[in-house]
Amino acid sequence: MEFKTATMDDFDVAFDYIEKLWDYNTYDKEVIRKVYADVLADEDSFAFFLMVVIAAITSVMSLIEVATQFVIQKFRADRKVSALIVAGVCFLVSIPIGISLGHVAILEESGPALFGLDWLTFFDEVTNTVLMPVCAFFSCVAVGWLIKPKNAIREMEDEGCQMAPWLEKTYAVMIRYITPLLIAIVEIGGLAGEIEAGNIAVVVFAYALIAVCAIVYFAFLRDRDTGCNADEKVKR
């Protein structure tokens, strides 16, 4: 069934595929039938989904840049090599995530699972519930209490961003007190939800991952900063 030649006669085939793809959810067939009909009726649907793909790719590029910059600074690696390493690791991790979602010939009814969840759901819970809030919390602590807000503001001003005095004071209060408190509330709520849902393994895995990364960083990588930035060509 190709997109451009699909008709409403193909809906049952498409719906069966959706149920097999995410068999742990339930779907309202009539609601999905309406969405399917709307997509087929709109001549611009293909362009819309093409734009979604492009947006996803560009978003991934910006996310990879952070890890690429880290590799460059810590290992004095070339930008292209660093980008290929990071992208390669992400690709390898995505393989079990991808095959865990649907019916694959070499597997049985579904792909591999982690603690009863498919890989995508598991890592989605890990990142949304623990990793992002914890990283955001410690980012606020680092900027607010270690780097100091005035130094962060000075760096932004060096890049051409000017702040009014009242905004500088507001920023300092927000980054030191209010934002960490709000993030902590969100994190506690997320943890309570995971525990109530019986996903304790998600919480344990996420905090164990944070602990391992922290140990590796402080034991081996903390003093390896070369001072090179992503736009600097590294030479020995």
Is 36 part of any domain? yes
pTM over 0.95: no
Is 233 part of any domain? no
Residue 69 in contact with residue 37, Cβ under 8 Å?
Answer: no
What digits encode the pLDDT tens for the residues 75-113?
A: 888 999 999 999 999 999 888 777 776 555 445 455 567
- The range of the structural domain enclosing residue 220 comes to 114-224
Is 103 part of any domain? no
What digits encode the pLDDT tens for the residues 118-174?
A: 788 888 889 999 999 999 999 999 999 999 999 999 988 888 888 889 999 999 999
Helix/strand/coil for 55:
helix
Here the tokens at position 172 are: 């300092």
Is 51 part of any domain? no
Q: First-to-last CA distance in the chain?
A: 55
